[in-house]
Chain A
Amino acid sequence: MVSAMNSPEKFPDTQGHLYEKRKAVHPQRIDGKFRRLKWVIMALTLAVYYITPWIRWDRGPYAPDQAVLVDLAHRRFYMFGIEIWPHEFYYVAGLLVMAGIGLFLVTSAVGRAWCGYTCPQTVWTDVFQHVDRFVDGDRNARMRLDKAPWTVQKTARRLFKWSIYLVIAFWTGGAWIMYFADAPTLVVDFWTGQAAPVAYASVAILTATTFIFGGFMREQVCIYMCPWPRIQTAMMDENSLTVTYKDWRGEPRGSLKKAEAHPGSFGDCVDCNQCVAVCPTGIDIREGPQIGCITCALCIDACDRVMAQVGRPRGLIDYATLEDSELEKAGKPHSPIRKALFRPRTILYTSIWGAIGLAMLFALGNRTRIDISANHDRNPVYVQLADGHVRNSYTVNLRNMENRPRKMIIGMTTLKGGVMWSNAGSREGAGQSLTTDVPADSVARLRVYVAAPGTGPEREDFALTVTAADDPEAKDIDEVFFERPETGE
């Protein structure tokens, strides 16, 4: 939907130029309900980002007490009461799938709400733009300063602003690494030069990216780098909310004076350009939906304010679906909001999203905290013993996912005449089971030998089991087999 009212001469002459200089964006300060919503969401998202690693969570003496910790060194992922082991990484994959479907759901229902309110690029750009305003003043002052020659004063001002950028960027990068180690310890280690080199490298890289992306690239990231705006184009339909300039009501636009002079021949738009002035990506929403629009709705705030001043109804620029726009254009009432929210597509997304979440919760609640995995040695497959018995060896991993050391009993299901012992014991002490200690939150690996009479089938199935000594209900089983040499010489 590209409105035909735009005239090409408004655009800079790009013909014959391969590259285009970035047009500086100096959004003007605005207040309104969407701006206030943005403040709340900004405070919330930043608080989550900065505070989360500092929340403590008691897990006993054998596990870290940080509520959210991605412990790459020990291959554990802690999230409050949940501890994920590497073999359970599908939970993280599941979370990513949920995040993806969540984005689909949000996009199909309320359009680019993610872009407009919660995307880190948006939030940090917002922060940096407030720094601009704090140091250099509002839109007009900043535009003037931009054009001004590089005096000592301007240089000093710029250096001051960039150092604030740098501090924010550093705090951003610094907070990131707190998720990967015990935060209080890491802070001390970081400043005393004892942290891992990767910690300093991460902070350096994230400081640089935040400084560049938040301080200078800003909307360029959304327009040229981010794939999500492109994907969203495919996700949105005629029922998705999007920021809409109601051209059927606003056009032809004209100033108040003109409208007074020629009543009836002008629309509601007074061509005050406030919607353009407040836009953080520097677009003109009156040109219609476009890739540069992150639907932050600040233009709605600006336009509502002007409409109130000139005594016209609010909502010349407003959240609307394409379907509603058509209805409104035809002078019909809007379809109810629930019709836009509850339709097969959003219901389907919600069900898939919920189903994955429930399945993961169910799996989490039912997962075993004790685990045996036995691998039959392949080289050699069997060993002939001197007394005519045959021995098979198994590499057994016992997983203790509880945060306390546990005594575990390895047992075996029926194997005629079979006895077992481990590398810690000997055949003399062999029996139908053996006991071993497994340290807290770790895997114990041991070699288990099983000997059985040499006469019998070439391959016999049986199973190795594990049971916690302190809880007969905590158990696991792994199917294995016993091999013998071919009979006869």
Chain B
Amino acid sequence: MMSEKKRVDQPTGTETVGHEWDGIEELDTPMPRWWVWTFYATIIWAIGYVIVYPAIPLLNSATEGVFGWSSRGEYDTQVAAREKELEPIRQALVSTDIRKLNGSPELLQQAIEGGRSAFKVHCVQCHGAGAAGSKGYPNLNDDDWLWGGDLETIEYTITHGIRNPDHEKTRFSQMPAFGRDGILQPNQIQDLVSYVRLLSGREKQSAAARRGAALFEANCAVCHGSDAKGSRTLGAPNLTDAISLYGLDRATLTDTITNARYGVMPRWGQRLDPATIRMLAAYVHSLGGGETLPALEDVKDDTLEQVGTPASNNGVGDEQS
């Protein structure tokens, strides 16, 4: 029995706990009284905590606590508070002419940051986290644009989407399926492939390419242009540069000409509010390939006349369905 070894230590007058290890004994020094009060205080605190906060697990949920606090509610409150903080920025953004956004660097930066977040929610699924796209999904970082790369044009594209047949203002273009529909024979398509690859320097001049040139002039130049530099009005890609949406290897190109492509982007004007779309436009524009607005001088003259007109978001606002 341990208690048998208990004894009173002479120098300190304190009883030992009764253990002994190689002659080393432990004094049973009493705890200070305040310590036990502190301990009781924590118990009282815990009881209060259990009453006011969710604590006791029941079958389907836990007790709710009289404060009605929940982590989900806390999250909602914080999000709502943040939304409220951002509201002035969203207001300012919508009421500013997008063509003049460059003139207010702070607002532009706020729009870019807002767009960065919105992009991660709505756009990364197709365009990728870094907006670098993939086969069939445009890389938004580069300097090649199918429909145009200035702020206003990007906003239009995001708002109305690509190839939404039920929407009048959508970006729409359709290349014929030259092979599938029997417009061109397979050997003609191969000649055309040689010519298109020649255009961007991927192949050398050849008899096939020369035959392809004639076919191009007859079938393709109407949209892609005689110089094959494409048309932004029609959304026809430039075939002479280093960038292609689907790839310029022979197999891919054969497939493209034979079956055509039909890439679709939703019209975000249906799903997102104008401020978020403007933020997305600013973000995409900021990725490195953004173009300056055409005829900026005209815009400036315009605005001078409009001084004093409240909410002068003419044009841009109309386009948002």
Any B CB within 8 A of the CB of A131: no
Instruction: Report the stretch among A1-9, A108-116, A312-320 that lies at the interface.
Output: A1-9
Question: Given A2-B11, A393-B288, A426-B292, are A220 and B32 also a contact pair (CB < 8 Å)?
Answer: yes
Stretch of A12-20, A144-152, A258-266 with 4 or more beta carbons under 8 angstroms from chain B: A12-20
Q: Among residues 1 to 45 in chain B, which have CB atoms less than 8 Å away from a CB atom of chain A? A: 8, 10-15, 29-36
Contacting pair A224 B32 (CB below 8 A): yes
By the criterion CB–CB under 8 Å, are B11 and A387 in contact?
Answer: no
A-contact bits for B120-144, CB 8 A (1 contact / 0 none): 0000000011111000000101111
Nearest chain B CB to A315's CB is how many angstroms away?
Answer: 25
Asked, given contacts A15-B15, A19-B32, A386-B241, whether A489 binds B132 with beta carbons under 8 Å apart, the answer is no
The minimal Cβ–Cβ distance linking B16 to chain A, given in whole angstroms, is 10
Of A14, A21, A379, A426, which is within 8 A of B132 by CB? A379
Q: Are A18 and B238 in touch, CB under 8 angstroms? A: no
Q: Is A380 an interface residue (CB 8 A)?
A: yes
With A19-B30, A383-B139 already in contact, the answer to whether A224 and B238 are too (CB < 8 A) is: no
Say if the beta carbon of B242 comes within 8 Å of chain A: yes
- The reply to whether B242 and A220 form a contact with Cβ atoms under 8 Å apart is no
Contact B142–A386 (Cβ < 8 Å): yes
For residue B241, which residue of chain A has the nearest CB?
A: A386
Q: Does A391 contact B (CB under 8 A)?
A: yes
B319 at interface, CB cutoff 8 A: no
* CB pair B142 A384 closer than 8 Å: yes
CA distance A8 to B11 in the complex (A): 6
Find A21's partner among B14, B33, B243, B248 (CB 8 Å cutoff).
B33
**Cβ of B286 and Cβ of A423 under 8 Å apart?**
yes
Q: Which residues of A contact B13 (CB under 8 A)?
A: 6, 8-11, 14
The reply on B249 being an interface residue by CB < 8 A is yes
Interface members, chain A 363-402 (any B CB < 8 Å): 377-380, 383-388, 391, 393
Using A19-B30, A217-B34, A454-B242 as known contacts, say yes or no to A383 and B141 having CB atoms under 8 A apart. yes
Q: Which residues of chain B are near A217, meaning CB under 8 Å?
A: 34
Which residues on B sit within 8 Å (CB–CB) of A385? 142-144, 242-243
Q: Is B202's beta carbon under 8 Å from chain A? A: yes
A332 at the interface (CB under 8 A from B): no
CB distance from A123 to the nearest CB of B (A): 22
Q: Do residues B242 and A387 form an inter-chain contact, with CB atoms below 8 A?
A: yes
CA distance A15 to B17 in the complex (A): 11
Q: Contact size class for A?
A: 35 or more
B242 and chain A: residue at smallest CB distance: A388
Query: In the complex the two chains form, is B243's CB within 8 Å of A386's CB?
Result: yes
A42 to chain B, nearest CB (A): 26
* Contact indicator per residue, chain B 207-244, by CB within 8 Å of chain A (1) or not (0): 00000000000000000000000000000001001110
Interface check A449, CB cutoff 8 A: yes
* Bound-state Cα–Cα, A385 to B241, Å: 8
Contact pick for A19, options B33, B144, B238, CB 8 Å: B33
A22 part of interface (Cβ distance < 8 Å): yes
Asked if residues A384 and B243 are in contact (CB atoms below 8 Å), the reply is yes
CB of A393 to closest CB in B, whole Å:
6
A18–B288 alpha-carbon span in the complex (Å): 73
Q: Is A36 an interface residue (CB 8 A)?
A: no
A22 and B34 in contact, given A2-B11, A14-B13 (Cβ under 8 angstroms): yes
Of all chain B residues, the one with the shortest Cβ separation from A423 is B286
What is the bound-complex CA distance between A10 and B12, given in angstroms?
9
Given contacts A4-B11, A380-B132, contact A386 B143 (CB under 8 A): yes
Kindly list chain A residues whose C-beta atoms are within 8 Å of the C-beta of B33.
19-22
| Contact of B35 (CB < 8 Å), options: A6, A224, A426 | A224
Please report the C-alpha to C-alpha distance between residue A184 and residue B85 in the assembled complex, in whole angstroms. Answer: 31
Q: Which residues of A contact B129 (CB under 8 A)?
A: 379
Q: A334 at the A/B interface (Cβ < 8 Å)?
A: no
Q: How far apart are B106's CB and chain A's nearest CB, in angstroms?
A: 13
CA distance A2 to B141 in the complex (A): 79
Apart from A380-B128, A386-B241, 8 more pairs, CB < 8 Å = A3-B11, A9-B13, A11-B14, A383-B289, A385-B243, A386-B242, A391-B141, A489-B248
B residues neighboring A (CB under 8 Å): 8, 10-15, 29-36, 128-132, 139, 141-144, 202, 238, 241-243, 248-249, 286, 288-289, 292
Pairs A–B under 8 Å by Cβ, sample size 21: A2-B11, A2-B12, A6-B13, A10-B13, A11-B12, A14-B14, A15-B14, A18-B31, A18-B36, A19-B30, A22-B33, A224-B35, A379-B129, A385-B143, A386-B142, A423-B286, A423-B288, A426-B292, A427-B143, A449-B288, A454-B242
